[in-house]
Amino acid sequence: MARYANIRESMEDKNGFARYWDTIAKAPYLYNEADSVFISYEDTVSIRLKTRYVIDKGMAGIMFWQLVGDAEKDGLVDAIYKEKKKP
């Protein structure tokens, strides 16, 4: 499993990977055509959209699978916090 920090630093539009956006899932994915490698993941844009959805629907909270590997600066938890602080 690739960690978000590693994906962002070494894979997003790098090393043969192209970043795409799934408009239904509201999430990014990477594809390396030469190696036929597909990676789905969350980024700060998808997390902010999902956080906004939770807030708008009046849901009780946000859950995620794993915190290990989040970027130290401007990571996924930071995206949740920033979106939650918006009016």
Its domain, for residue 52, covers: 4-85
> What CATH number does residue 14 fall under?
3.10.50
Q: Could you give the number of structural domains in the chain?
A: 1
DSSP characters over 25-51: TTEEEEEETTTTEEEE---HHHHHHHH
Question: Residue 22 above 70 pLDDT?
Answer: yes
pLDDT class for 4, splitting at 50, 70, 90? confident
Residue 40's CB: how many other CB atoms inside 10 A?
A: 12
Instruction: Give percent of the chain above pLDDT 90.
Output: 67
Whole-number Å distance between alpha carbons of 25 and 58:
20
